[in-house]
Amino acid sequence: MISNAAIFGSISSLVGGSPRRVAWREIVSEHGLARLTGGVLAASIALGGATRSGYPGDALLQFLAIILLIVALRDIVISGSVRHFKWPLIFLGSLALVPIVQLLPLPVDLWSRLPGREIISQTYTLIDQPRPAFPLTLTPSATYLSGLALLPPAAVFLGTLTLGYAHRRSVSFVLIAMGIASVLLGLLQLAQGPNSALRFYEITNKTEAVGFFANRNHFAALLYVATLFVAAHLIDAIGIMGQSKLRHRADANMAVPLLTWLTALLMLTAAQLMARSRAGLVLTDLALAAAIAIGMTDRRIATSNPGFGRLIVGTAAGIILLLLPLALYRILDRFGADPFADARIAFARKTISAALAYMPFGSGLGSFVPVYQLYEQTSDVGLTYANHAHNDVLEVWLETGIFGIALMGVFGVWIVRRTASLWKEGSAAIHGVDLGLARAASVAALLLLAHSSVDYPLRTTAMMTVAAVALAFLIKPAKSDARQSPRHGMRRRPRQLQDGGNEGLRHGRSMQSPSAREAWVAQGDWPEAWRPMAADPTRPPIPAQPDDAATFAEHPERDSAAG
């Protein structure tokens, strides 16, 4: 009876017109938003590997990001999720204000009193010209480009934020697929040699694989982030097989995802040997150690055959033992002569001196190169130059002053607390692979921050966008999935509620099945949630169904049996 009424409700809603069409547009919008988010993420990884802004690909990414921003913000407003995402939106707005404020023109007298502006003021005095109204930043063009560079990660962050868990899994598949594609591209780069046409940037590492990037360190960063997401899916496959073994229902099809994810894990970790990045090798070892922790804290694995737990530990430990000697060799080879000869230490010292000189408001986003050169000595000048501080904390301090310090402090406190919450007890609303992905994302964000203390992976559009995905995974979605598969730890909704009962759920009405006497007598009224919409007079009438109300009125014995 329930299924027939559900069918009747679905057909009558279709005949009634607008309610079902609205529902269909909502479904299309949700799937379309997921596809758009995944598309911008893939495009950002493919086109955003440069270490500076201003490439032609950046314009395309920013155009796509504006579209995604509009769609995501519209979804947040229409769905009533503004309150749920209040703090992420406030933080994102604060980030956007930094380049906007730095580009506002200031009165001449106020600007001349700011620290670090003496050289420019003296220059205008020497040429006997009046000083124009300058903005806060010393490099307006670079600050403008830096502000535009925030569009793709902000858009992907909001796009991922609005998705439910099922669509977030799809976004993780896109990230993993781009990581695998980058590995295959790196293999071709090595096969073709230093002058390969597949190296997309003129200034790059000629003897190592770089994938879609200009720098091997940033290629390595994508690899260890993708490794964590692959590990989460591998652990999910192991957990499913382990639970099925307990119920004696495992079959050959369950081994396919397990072998697929295991192959992907081996590919991504082996690719670190092609990149030969010291930071990448060390952080990949830490990522694999985190994968062991994710697996051992998975409840399905803890309650299944102990052999599956040993499989996780053995696989990850074997890869760690493979990579650790090479990582140590690369580190000792670089620092063997003089530990203090590394240029990063000199970069850090001069950046700190410049940051103190430009306190409290900073020198402006994108101004690192010209400002740093003011603090270089003649002996420092050579064939290379410092394009970044190789320490993002120091570089943000120099360019944004106290504002950047405040935002970094707030962000640091939040990510530590959120990570501790996810690893301590998880959440009642998140299970299975979704919990594993959230924990993997938390580790990925922390590893990227650690990497940023010795390099600048987050200065590329690609890795900023990847980091945005990881941060969005840490935040609980505002809407639950309409259909959750049991393999991911959630109960499947009854089919009649998925199809015929959607309209009632959207209006907040209860979908409890009515009793036979209440619903099926000939003169009775339909329950409020199941009443059909007014039919279109131009459409033909709906033919009588075999089990409709009239049929039940003619068979009271079936009515009493159903009751």
Handedness of CA 468, 228, 302, 242 (dihedral sign): positive
Say how many residues make up the chain.
563
Highest mean pLDDT among 116-125, 213-222, 272-281: 213-222
Q: Which residue has the higher pLDDT, 4 or 265?
A: 265
Q: Where are the beta strands (DSSP E) in 214-260?
A: none
Model pLDDT, residue 39: 95
Model pLDDT, residue 19: 41
135 three-state secondary structure:
strand
Handedness of CA 314, 319, 322, 323 (dihedral sign): negative
- Within 452-544, residue ranges assigned H as helices are 461-473, 495-498, 502-506, 516-519
User: pLDDT per residue over 132-162, tens digit each?
Assistant: 788 999 999 999 999 999 999 999 999 999 9
List of residues 6+ apart from 559 with CB closer than 8 A: 516, 517, 520, 521, 552, 553
Model pLDDT, residue 475: 93
The proportion of the chain whose per-residue pLDDT surpasses 70, expressed as a percent, equals 68
**Alpha carbons 1 and 4: distance in angstroms, whole number:** 5
pLDDT category of residue 344 using cuts at 50, 70 and 90: confident
**Alpha carbons 499 and 10: distance in angstroms, whole number:** 7
Provide the residue type at 37 as one letter: T
180 and 268 Cβ atoms separated by less than 8 Å = yes
Among residues 156, 142, 164, the alpha carbon closest in space to that of 53 is found at 142
**Alpha carbons 541 and 539: distance in angstroms, whole number:** 6
Provide the residue type at 112 as one letter: S
Among residues 535, 545, 500, 544, the alpha carbon closest in space to that of 15 is found at 535
Residue that is written with structure tokens 């990227």 in the block: 448
C-alpha dist (Å) from residue 171 to 164, 211, 472: 11, 20, 11
Range with the poorest average pLDDT among 91-100, 113-122, 175-184, 487-496: 487-496
pLDDT category of residue 241 using cuts at 50, 70 and 90: confident
Work out the average pLDDT over 319-343.
58
Residue that is written with structure tokens 């097989």 in the block: 241
- Output the pTM of the full model: 0.77
Q: Which residue has the higher pLDDT, 392 or 127?
A: 392
Among residues 476, 528, 535, the alpha carbon closest in space to that of 504 is found at 528
Handedness of CA 314, 230, 207, 342 (dihedral sign): negative
**Alpha carbons 506 and 217: distance in angstroms, whole number:** 48
User: pLDDT per residue over 243-261, tens digit each?
Assistant: 665 555 556 667 788 889 9
pLDDT at 310 over 80: no
Mean pLDDT for the chain? 78
What dihedral do alpha carbons 275, 277, 280, 286 form, nearest 10°? 120
Burial class (CB in 10 A: 0-12, 13-18, 19+), 293: middle
Range with the poorest average pLDDT among 44-53, 163-172, 426-435, 515-524: 515-524
**Alpha carbons 68 and 515: distance in angstroms, whole number:** 47
172 and 229 Cβ atoms separated by less than 8 Å = yes
Provide the residue type at 12 as one letter: S
